[in-house]
Amino acid sequence: MQALPISLDRSSQGPLPSQIAAQVRELVLAGTLRPGNRLPSSRALASELAVSRSVVDRAYEQLIAEGWAESRHGSGTFVSDVRGGTARSRAAPAGPAPEQRLVRLDAGTPWGFPRQDAGWRRAWREVSVAEPPRGYDDPRGLRELREALADRLARTRGLAVSADEIIVTAGTTDALRQVLPELRPGAIGVEDPGYRAAVETVRSSGRDVVDLPATLPISALGGAVAAYVTPAHQHPLGRVMPAADRLTLLETARREDALVIEDDYDSEFRYDVAPVPALAALDRDRVAYVGTAAKSVVPTLRVGWLVPPPSLLDAVVRRRDVTHSGAAWPSQRALLTLLRDGWIDRTVRAARRVYAERAARVVAALSPHAELAAPIAGMYSAWLLPEPEAVRARDAARAEGFELNLLSTYARTNKVSGLLVSFGGTTDVELDRALGVLGAALRRG
């Protein structure tokens, strides 16, 4: 372990933890700190810098969250191997990169939490020694998990439901597939632009899709029997559905006797204001609430949750009892530990800090060239641009090994165009490189 050449500027506006984190980052980039080097204990560094230990803890947490350092249980905090990734991507040949090497800046990839995390390992150790249910168990999913989810929904989403009203799913589209057969015949409204997986799922159930406005009040459903919406964070444009529009939507659904399906995929990741309570909290009878672990854990866990309106609950449970659909038991059991031990809360808090910092960098780099569709939340941003410019920037990024999506690929009749720039699935270094490439391509335009 080495003493670190860090000096704090107490007259500066910058918070002390951010100053420490920034200087450690610079030491890593300069090669002064090398992968595998152990950082001083927070107690030692705090005493050296004459700050409280919590200041250093916050700085280390931030560095771990960003992937610059990793915590090894019982032995301290170590510098991660970040430069390997950068060196490899710098060495990438010009021209389209092979598919597997593309760094994805698409909307779906969340922040990569530290893989050495002790809480994560504990969850999977518990899976390995727990007794799986015999037979197919409760069609609603693992009871203790539903209890933990009920607690979390009340706490974080203002949604007071009992464990019996929650159904554990294999993710968002699984939830949608559970609800669709219970609706009377007819089309389903989906925001335009909107979530492509929902559109595909509706169409493959044999129903038509009605285009609903993504950023205007929904005051008519065009004959649709349900409206699939993302009120906490419109996907992909990013706006929060204002209170007045929420009431209009519920009123419209009541008038047309339709269901609202609320996809609440990343509502926890707000860093400007507190998360807006779930739409379902305003009308449990009219709204099917759909949540997912894809953003707070990983998409490949394939776990989500559905709170159907009371009128549909029994029918959905009965169908699941026959079809055995639902999330795999190991994933459910692991999620139970992650929730119970506070791992999810901690990860969401750490990720929020990472996202807030990255969002500011994205805005600084791209706002001279494009219009931000809505204040950034979650792990992606939507930038409005004429289609040819968006395509040029997307192609330039692709040639450098970055994959981004065009906004137009989420649109149906609405001719919106631009770029979706996610900052969840990259390292800070990769993000800065991607922003450099995008900025240069847009400047050239």
Ligand X SMILES: Cc1ncc(COP(=O)(O)O)c(C=O)c1O
The only residue of 67, 108, 401, 424 in contact with ligand X, by rule CB under 6 A: 108
Which positions from 298 to 317 touch ligand X by CB under 6 A, shown as an x/- string? -x----x-------------
Amino acid found at 423: F
Q: Taking CB under 6 A as the rule, does residue 265 contact ligand X?
A: yes
CB of 170 to ligand X, least distance (A): 8
- Cβ proximity to ligand X: between 78 and 265 the closer is 265
* Cα three-residue angle 168-171-174, rounded to 5 degrees: 85
Q: Taking CB under 6 A as the rule, does residue 267 contact ligand X?
A: no
Contact range with ligand X by CB under 6 A, out of 51-59, 169-177, 346-354, 418-426: 169-177
CA–CA gap between residue 278 and residue 287 (Å, rounded): 10
- Cβ proximity to ligand X: between 42 and 201 the closer is 201
Q: What is the largest CA-CA distance in the chain?
A: 70
CA–CA gap between residue 280 and residue 258 (Å, rounded): 14
DSSP 205-269: TT--EEEEESSS-----TT-SEEEE-TTS-TTT-PPPPHHHHHHHHHHHHHTT-EEEEE-SSTT-
Amino acid found at 10: R
Pairing status of strand 380-384 against strand 103-104: unpaired
Q: Taking CB under 6 A as the rule, does residue 172 contact ligand X?
A: yes
CB of 290 to ligand X, least distance (A): 8
CB of 380 to ligand X, least distance (A): 9
Give the torsion through C-alpha atoms of 97, 99, 105, 106, to 10 deg. 140
Contact range with ligand X by CB under 6 A, out of 86-94, 166-174, 281-289, 367-375: 166-174
Q: Is 169 helix (H, G, I), strand (E, B) or coil?
A: strand
CB of 172 to ligand X, least distance (A): 3
Q: Taking CB under 6 A as the rule, does residue 294 contact ligand X?
A: yes
Contact range with ligand X by CB under 6 A, out of 171-179, 211-219, 268-276, 308-316: 171-179
- Cβ proximity to ligand X: between 172 and 381 the closer is 172
Total residues at interface with ligand X (CB under 6 A): 14
Kindly tell me the sign of the dihedral angle through the C-alpha atoms of 346, 350, 355, 360: positive
For 168, the enclosing helix (H) or strand (E) is: strand 167-169
Contact range with ligand X by CB under 6 A, out of 179-187, 291-299, 315-323, 335-343: 291-299
| Residues 262 and 288 sit within 8 Å (Cβ to Cβ) | yes
The only residue of 156, 173, 252, 381 in contact with ligand X, by rule CB under 6 A: 173
- Cβ proximity to ligand X: between 362 and 365 the closer is 362
Q: Where on the chain is the footprint of ligand X (CB under 6 A)?
A: 107-108, 171-173, 195, 230, 235, 263, 265, 292, 294, 299, 304
